[in-house]
């Protein structure tokens, strides 16, 4: 055989898969995504609710130092607990009456000890409700925008440009490829949800009057991490699945926003039709809430933060999120391995 007649040579050994190959894919994806000026604006805007939650926790923990906040404190706490279906007596410990708002703050004479006891007694519920509101009402909507701007092009661009041939010419598994793409989205979501929430928790502990706050709220960091998983994993799998089904990202982006908008509107329309028949309108307890992914996530996150009266009611919604995650993951693996199957 001539020396230069190389031709094709078989390879009998197994390719050594690098354990951290997915990090390079994630790093490249973040670099490309961060070039978008609109994405930068949404990310910076996403930090605004963080300052609101931080201020609310600070004022709550320092309420006993400012007598003018007593009526507002009681009014907010009682309203918040009624909203979260919690039945609490409207009085201070030891049976002292609470000055309910609106009352002239200058005419209120409440011992500071009673105010601090009231703060300590309701801290757990108030903090949980605050973090739930941060995840659901603030970051939930921004999550839809962020994922809709990042995820639709992550796989569709690779299919369109045939970058699969480059990726899988290296020793990388389909799972590592998928993990790298998913991590690209998760890092942005964690940066605007989990990190700010944990910072608020630490600041609340530091500005609380005593270390007893740790005993009252030790479970909140774990609830924050669990809420992050609920918010990020199913949504990322769904967005990447849509991206893998098409070659142009605009179709995946349209499908992503259509799922959220159509589901949200459909749930409200059908719940409103039930309202005309029964006279009670509550989308969160409606049988049609399962049509809206936004409300499904909200109900599960309410359970995560311990704000549901009947925890068993969350089981159907956990099944919905689990089904979406597993089904999308199966489709993703099949679509990712399709170009390399012989």
Q: Given this model, what pLDDT does residue 83 score?
A: 63
- Which tens digit of pLDDT belongs to each residue from 140-184? 788 899 999 999 988 888 888 877 777 777 778 888 889 999 999
CA–centroid distance for 203 within its chain: 21
Q: Does residue 112 register a pLDDT over 60?
A: no
Min mean pLDDT across 10-19, 152-161, 188-197 is at: 10-19
In whole angstroms, give the CA distance from residue 291 to residue 270: 10
Mean of the pLDDT values across residues 197-207?
90
**208: enclosing H helix or E strand:** none
pLDDT in tens, 45-83: 888 888 888 888 887 777 766 666 677 777 777 776 666
Least confident window among 2-16, 46-60, 235-249: 2-16
Domain ranges of the chain: 21-340
Confidence of residue 135 (pLDDT cuts 50, 70, 90): confident
Give the integer Cα–Cα distance in Å for 62 and 64: 6
pLDDT for residue 99: 43
Q: How far is CA 230 from the centre of its chain?
A: 6
Of 54-68, 71-85, 122-136, 239-253, highest mean pLDDT: 239-253
Other C-beta atoms closer than 10 Å to the C-beta of 255 total 18
Cis peptide before 102 (omega within 30 of 0): yes
| pLDDT tens by residue, 285-324 | 777 888 889 989 988 998 999 887 677 788 999 999 999 9
Residues in contact with 127: Cβ distance below 8 Å, sequence separation at least 6, in sequence order = 57, 201, 204, 217, 220
């Amino acid at each position: 055989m001539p020396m230069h007649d190389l031709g094709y040579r078989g390879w009998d050994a197994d390719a050594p898969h690098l354990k951290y190959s997915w990090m390079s894919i994630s790093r490249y994806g973040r670099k490309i995504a961060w070039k978008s000026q609109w994405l930068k604006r949404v990310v910076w805007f996403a930090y605004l609710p963080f300052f609101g939650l931080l201020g609310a926790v600070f004022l709550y923990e320092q309420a006993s130092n400012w007598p003018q906040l007593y009526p507002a404190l009681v009014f907010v706490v009682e309203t918040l607990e009624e909203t979260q279906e919690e039945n609490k007596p409207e009085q201070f410990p030891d049976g002292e009456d609470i000055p309910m708002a609106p009352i002239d703050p200058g005419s209120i004479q409440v011992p500071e000890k009673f105010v601090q006891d009231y703060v300590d007694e309701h801290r757990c519920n108030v903090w949980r409700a605050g973090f739930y509101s941060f995840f659901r009402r603030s970051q939930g909507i921004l999550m839809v925008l962020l994922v809709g701007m990042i995820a639709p092009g992550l796989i569709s661009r690779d299919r369109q440009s045939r970058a699969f041939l480059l990726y899988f010419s290296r020793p990388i598994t389909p799972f590592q490829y998928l993990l790298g793409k998913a991590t690209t989205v998760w890092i942005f979501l964690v940066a605007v949800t989990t990190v700010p929430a944990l910072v608020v928790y630490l600041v609340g502990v530091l500005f609380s009057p005593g270390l007893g706050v740790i005993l009252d709220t030790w479970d909140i960091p774990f609830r924050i991490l669990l809420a992050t998983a609920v918010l990020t994993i199913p949504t990322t799998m769904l967005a990447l699945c849509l991206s893998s089904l098409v070659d142009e990202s605009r179709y995946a982006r349209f499908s992503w926003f259509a799922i959220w908008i159509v589901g949200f509107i459909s749930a409200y329309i059908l719940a409103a039709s039930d309202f005309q028949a029964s006279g009670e309108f509550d989308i969160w307890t409606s049988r049609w809430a399962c049509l809206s992914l936004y409300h499904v996530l909200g109900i599960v996150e309410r359970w995560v933060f311990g704000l549901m009266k009947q925890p068993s009611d969350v089981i159907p919604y956990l099944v919905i999120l689990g089904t979406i995650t597993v089904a999308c993951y199966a489709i993703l693996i099949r679509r990712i391995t399709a170009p390399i199957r012989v």
